[in-house]
């Protein structure tokens, strides 16, 4: 049996594959339609103009839902592990969940408010998604180390922390350079004064986005031993 079919492993697997497809399909459609430059557009640039805006919005909305489902399941896994053998304060796990869910709300905002139509709302959502997402990965990496070696292998902990560190290092110049750009546009000329800021921030944005994807990929093994049960009770008094 494939590893992503065991237990709840299909949830992070679906999140990873669906989100990757969302970025790639939107990028390909936007480039083939001539709406963006093939060289380092912002992720949001590939979801601004129809028809790719509809694809981007639909797929990122579902990614946000899958992200929330993955984070909540991860929260319950850590909660159960901590009850079995105490290794960290429950508040730590709860804070990471809240940050993760706020990041998912940010993704929903990005998906539904295009950057050229309502740039302030769109940028606010992107800021929530990236900053809260990076903080979530950092906290989960710390939790992984605290639960090592009983619940996580040292190699998994190192990989998670490495991805978190790279994402954290990339999100800072992404925000700084993006804030220095004086105009929001889809097509850039290398001779323009803000072009260097655009290139740096776009590289960092793609780095952080795929950092999230690779991070959730490490959850697949943890989710294999988890099962979901739904029970239905009918009250006879009704």
pLDDT of residue 218: 95
How do residues 37-66 score in pLDDT, each as one tens digit?
888 899 999 998 899 999 999 999 999 999
How far from the centroid of its chain's Cα atoms is residue 61's Cα? 12
pTM of the model: 0.92
DSSP label of 235: -
> pLDDT of 164-208, one tens digit each?
999 999 999 999 999 998 887 888 888 888 899 999 999 999 999
**DSSP helix/strand/coil, 225:** coil
pLDDT digits (tens, 9 = 90+) for 93-142: 999 999 999 999 999 999 999 888 888 999 999 999 999 999 999 999 99
Q: Give the Cα separation of 174 and 120 in Å (integer).
A: 17
């Amino acid at each position: 049996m494939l590893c992503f079919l065991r237990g709840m492993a299909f949830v992070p697997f679906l999140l990873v594959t669906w989100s990757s497809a969302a970025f790639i399909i939107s990028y390909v459609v936007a480039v083939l339609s001539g709406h963006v430059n093939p060289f380092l557009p912002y992720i949001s640039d590939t979801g601004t103009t129809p028809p790719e805006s509809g694809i981007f919005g639909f797929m990122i909305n579902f990614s946000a839902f899958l992200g929330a489902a993955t984070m909540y399941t991860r929260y319950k896994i850590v909660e159960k592990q901590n009850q079995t053998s105490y290794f960290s304060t429950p508040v730590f796990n709860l804070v990471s969940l809240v940050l993760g869910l706020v990041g998912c709300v940010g993704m929903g905002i990005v998906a539904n408010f295009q950057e050229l139509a309502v740039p302030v709302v769109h940028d606010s959502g992107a800021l929530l998604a990236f900053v809260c997402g990076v903080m979530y990965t950092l906290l989960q990496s710390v939790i992984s180390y605290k639960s090592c070696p009983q619940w996580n292998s040292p190699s998994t902990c190192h990989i998670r922390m490495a991805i978190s560190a790279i994402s954290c290092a990339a999100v800072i110049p992404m925000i700084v350079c993006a804030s220095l750009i004086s105009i929001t546009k889809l097509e850039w000329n290398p001779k323009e004064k803000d072009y260097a800021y655009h290139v740096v921030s776009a590289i960092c944005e793609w780095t952080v986005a795929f950092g999230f994807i690779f991070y959730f990929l490490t959850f697949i093994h943890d989710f294999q031993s988890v099962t979901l049960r739904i029970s239905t009770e009918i009250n006879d008094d009704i």
